[in-house]
Amino acid sequence: MKAEIQLTPEQKQDLVERAKQARQWAYVPYSHYPVGAALLTASGKLYDGVNIENAAYPTTICAERVAVFKAVSEGERDFVAIAVVTEDGGSPCGSCRQVMSEFGLGLHVMMANAQGEILSECSLADLLPRAFNSSSLE
């Protein structure tokens, strides 16, 4: 597990603001629960994502996974922090936690409400104790 990197208050707020801005592009005709995410990589790049719903519910994808997949598709593998913005500061779902864990449990996770107020922050290891990862396959 990589060590968690300390972010400045300004870096945290910038990440939350990026997620908050991305949230406007969410496609949520069924749940009406828009989510925005912003992922900071070790290279300093930011990747955002939104949840995208589908009438066939299992094919819906969460904002966190969109951000991770965008980053990975651009060659990024080392993630520092992710901000998730929802109406009420909701937490990443289990599928998102599992996908993020593939790239390190030291990821700093911030959950903020629609006003951009950080309500909770912790490491991914705290959100996903006893994670199933590559070492589980050895």
Which domains are seen in the chain, by residue range?
A: 9-137 (3.40.140.10)
Q: What is the pTM of this model?
A: 0.94
Write out pLDDT tens, residues 36-89.
999 999 999 999 999 999 999 999 999 999 999 999 999 999 999 999 999 999
112 is in an annotated binding site: no
**Which residues form the catalytic set?**
64
62 is in an annotated binding site: yes
Strand segments (E) across the chain: 36-41, 46-50, 79-85, 108-112, 118-123
133 is in an annotated binding site: no
Helix (H) / strand (E) element for 92: namely: none
Report the candidate in 67, 10, 3 with the shortest Cα–Cα distance to residue 35: 67
Residues in contact with 97: Cβ distance below 8 Å, sequence separation at least 6, in sequence order? 124, 127, 128, 131
Alpha helices in the chain (DSSP H): 9-22, 63-73, 94-101, 124-127
Write out pLDDT tens, residues 74-120.
999 999 999 999 999 999 999 999 999 999 999 999 999 999 999 99
Give dist(CA 90, CA 46) in Å, integer.
21
Report the candidate in 117, 96, 115 with the shortest Cα–Cα distance to residue 107: 96
